[in-house]
A and B are shown apart, each in its own frame.
Chain A
Amino acid sequence: MHPQDLLLGAFIYLAAAVIAALLATRLGLGSVLGYLVAGMVIGPSVLGLIGREGADVMHFAEFGVVVMLFLVGLELRPATLWALRRPIIGLGGLQVVATALALGAGALALGFGWQAALTTGLILAMSSTAIVLQSLSERGLLKTSAGQSCFSVLLFQDIAVIPILALLPLLATVNPQSAHGATLIGDLPRWAQTLAVLAAVGAIIVAGRFLTRPLFRLVAATGSREVFVGLALVMVVGIALLMQLVGLSAALGTFLAGVVLADSEYRHELEMDLDPFKGLLLAVFFIAVGAGIDFSLLLHQPLLVAGLVLGFIALKFGIMFLLARLFAMGGPDACRFSFALAQGGEFAFVLISFAAGLGLLDPGQSGLLVAVVALSMAAAPLLMILDARVIQPRFASKPGARGSEPIEDTGARVIIAGHGRFGITVGRLLQASGIRAVVLDHDAEQIEVVRKFGFRTYYGDASRHDLLEAAGAAEAQALVIAIDEPEKVLQIVETARRHFPQLQIFARARDRVHAYRLINAGVEHVYREVFAASVDLGKQLLVGLGMHPFEAHRAARRFKAHDEDLLRRSARHVDDTQRLIDIARQEREELERVLTSDASAPGASPDHAWQAPDGRPSDAGPAPAPPAGQAAPQPAPWPPVPWRAGAMH
């Protein structure tokens, strides 16, 4: 392809993606539907902006699915995956078998041969991982129990593609070379192939466990983000290639790698770096699916195609719903689950072309199947909207039939950004008090150390709103910014206040001027990094010089409160140095007066405070004292009058 064409193609795809996503989300339809419609519009059947190369583009964009499964894997710790084994194998397995048989029977009834019918059933049993996961996560439903069931089924389907690819040649009457032709190991004996597959999977697990962490640490230490992104892409592409070499699904391989890395502290950084690639590639993929819909077929046999699509969706929905009830899902969950999965999937296109190559399907059958799958995928977002807008509200109005709740509570209550000598103290106090905290730091060495102390830690730049979000900023109660770079602290404050207004922010200030800036940025809890220690030292110094510890304690506290009040009052004059100096001078005199008045005014002693003004013994006349407990209103931070201990009568 000419480079010019490549750029033009990229321009058309990306422009269509942007416009479609904007329109679709504005209309509340979800971006997937937008992409599909955009593909239809720019495709050969309507505007013809892109031609028949759509299929090639789709193969390329399938890499988006690969990246997506890597990201899905990152979200799933091995323990979570193990906990899901029952729905994955039980629900997923039953779904594939039941759907394949039912749809195969349907195809048989339409006059397909039994091999073609079974092939069709298997092909149509697949649902679209790309559409469903993307739509569910856009709606925040991925972690609900219906979402998890969908995920389990989709995961099983993705795994099932591999045995299906192995099974189809056995159904074929002709046996062309293409079965394993693309793989390096296709010529090896069976046992060696199996061994190679196992070795590849083992290599991913071992490398993921032991090799990636030092590698990422090394790259993270360079501090250059593009190198990190590059490494992440190299890893995903490399795994995809390795999987193809041994004839496994690339998506499955990267999913496995994702699971292996789910416990890694680099998880969030990986997620964020790969997310844009996934999003763009999926967009291109959906556009290609839209463009691939053959409208001429639709125009020639509109009733047949429409009938097939409707029948397919209805049948798949029915089976999903039955299975959902069988697995004890409630009404709302069962509906959400069934509507979400009632479509064909991207793997269907792979399987269709594979089956056509084997001669299992004739060109007419495969063309019809492509149209049915593509149209059902286009309908999928509509079905989910139907479910969300019409079906679910009906359940919501019935008492006792509550929709699904998030089942995984990963949120920490506190996020600590920066875990150096400042943050670590805060973290230890929280840990000792049994409060969950997530630690973010962009020093890979530091992260290693902190991990050993048993904190949940993530590598990354906390001024990025996506990292904060990944760390749970939307649910956390507080954000501690303990980083020692003043500008960075201000950046994080700005990000956090804009995106997570509910977060209480506790910020470390380098010095007075930095504290002014933080206060002006709206931070209530500002702590100058050495202030508390200096005051403590000063207090002990006073004791060392002979002051009574309680007096020293109070002096230190008053000094501190006074200084913090001054800090807040001066903050708005941060740029007016002369003004600041004037205020400081005034305040110093005031402070001196306050501190000394307490120590050196025995005449103001409380022991006398209740005596009659003329010095008569206090029992000689009526009490001049105000009623107990009714203190005079006091100006902040403490009254400039001498402090009074309890009164003695």
Chain B
Amino acid sequence: MKLLVLHAHPRSKASVVQRAMVRAISGLDGVTIADLYAEYPDFDIHVAREQQRLLDHDVIVLQHPFYWYSSPALLKEWLDLVLENGWAYGPGGTRLAGRFLLSAISTGGTQEAYRHGGRNRFEIAELLSPFNQTAYLCSMAYLAPFVIHAGRQLPAGQLAAAAGTYRDLIVGLRDGAIDPLSRLAPGFTLPPAFSAKR
């Protein structure tokens, strides 16, 4: 399968974890990495081009730091503009049906912070539900997210290991070694149009 990694980080220079993740999957055949902030520094997203790029790939990876329990602004802008009514969803909007959506995020807090009663009060899966539902509305399958927690505090070796796991996931999806349907987000039911398309 072909993968499109939409990478959004407004300060790539200051980024540690995201940079490690990008490095880990760079140069792979069949994996396109799009640095959105480099392509659209003025936020002027070329919708037709982005839609074509989506059609050219099977798995869409949204890779970004988990700013404010969500994505950086440009990725949100990208979703707002590119996933048009009648194209990605709504009447006749089944162009993305049958594809997969994967969130690959890095957080500042540890995994323990993301639980009921923890500092961030919600689980990652709950906080990611807008992306989960976005996939559903676009008749895509939402995969279990890939998360690196508190990456900045990890010793270099552990960060490299985490990045390696990410690479394995990407390569596995690309080669079919990992069946994406076996890796759906917990509780995710496939949208009706998804199965029709596959």
The residue from A552, A610, A617, A645 contacting B110, defined by CB atoms under 8 A apart: A617
The docked-state distance in angstroms from the alpha carbon of A436 to that of B20 is: 53
Known: A550-B41, A551-B11. A619 touches B106 (CB 8 A): no
Taking CB atoms, residues of chain B closer than 8 Å to A554 are 41
The docked-state distance in angstroms from the alpha carbon of A610 to that of B73 is: 19
Known: A623-B119, A648-B67. A607 touches B14 (CB 8 A): yes
* Interface residues in A608-632 (C-beta closer than 8 Å to B): 608, 610-611, 617-619, 623, 628
User: A646 interface residue, CB < 8 Å from B?
Assistant: yes
The docked-state distance in angstroms from the alpha carbon of A550 to that of B109 is: 26
The docked-state distance in angstroms from the alpha carbon of A605 to that of B72 is: 15
Task: Assign chain B's interface to a size class.
Answer: 20 to 34
Chain B 61-73 interface 0/1 with A at a Cβ cutoff of 8 Å (1 = within): 0000111110011
Known: A628-B68, A649-B109. A617 touches B38 (CB 8 A): no
User: B12 interface residue, CB < 8 Å from A?
Assistant: yes
By beta carbon, the residue of chain B nearest A552 is B41
Once the chains bind, are A619 and B110 in contact (CB under 8 Å)? yes
Once the chains bind, are B38 and A549 in contact (CB under 8 Å)? yes
User: B56 interface residue, CB < 8 Å from A?
Assistant: no
Q: Separation in Å of the B126 CB from the closest CB of chain A?
A: 14
Once the chains bind, are A619 and B14 in contact (CB under 8 Å)? no
Taking CB atoms, residues of chain B closer than 8 Å to A498 are none
Chain B 5-42 interface 0/1 with A at a Cβ cutoff of 8 Å (1 = within): 00001111111100000000000000000000111011
User: A562 interface residue, CB < 8 Å from B?
Assistant: no
User: B185 interface residue, CB < 8 Å from A?
Assistant: no
The docked-state distance in angstroms from the alpha carbon of A557 to that of B11 is: 16
The residue from A548, A549, A551, A649 contacting B113, defined by CB atoms under 8 A apart: A649
User: A647 interface residue, CB < 8 Å from B?
Assistant: yes
The docked-state distance in angstroms from the alpha carbon of A618 to that of B153 is: 11
Taking CB atoms, residues of chain A closer than 8 Å to B120 are 619, 649
Known: A549-B41, A607-B152. A648 touches B12 (CB 8 A): no
Known: A550-B41, A607-B65. A619 touches B109 (CB 8 A): yes
Once the chains bind, are A646 and B16 in contact (CB under 8 Å)? no
The residue from A550, A607, A610, A618 contacting B37, defined by CB atoms under 8 A apart: A550
By beta carbon, the residue of chain B nearest A600 is B13
The docked-state distance in angstroms from the alpha carbon of A322 to that of B21 is: 89
User: A599 interface residue, CB < 8 Å from B?
Assistant: yes
Once the chains bind, are B72 and A617 in contact (CB under 8 Å)? no
Question: Nearest 10 A-B pairs (CB), nearest first?
Answer: A646-B67, A619-B113, A553-B41, A550-B37, A619-B119, A648-B108, A550-B41, A549-B41, A645-B10, A549-B38
Query: What residues of chain B have their CB less than 8 Å away from a CB belonging to chain A?
Result: 9-16, 37-39, 41-42, 65-69, 72-73, 106-110, 112-113, 118-120, 150, 152-153
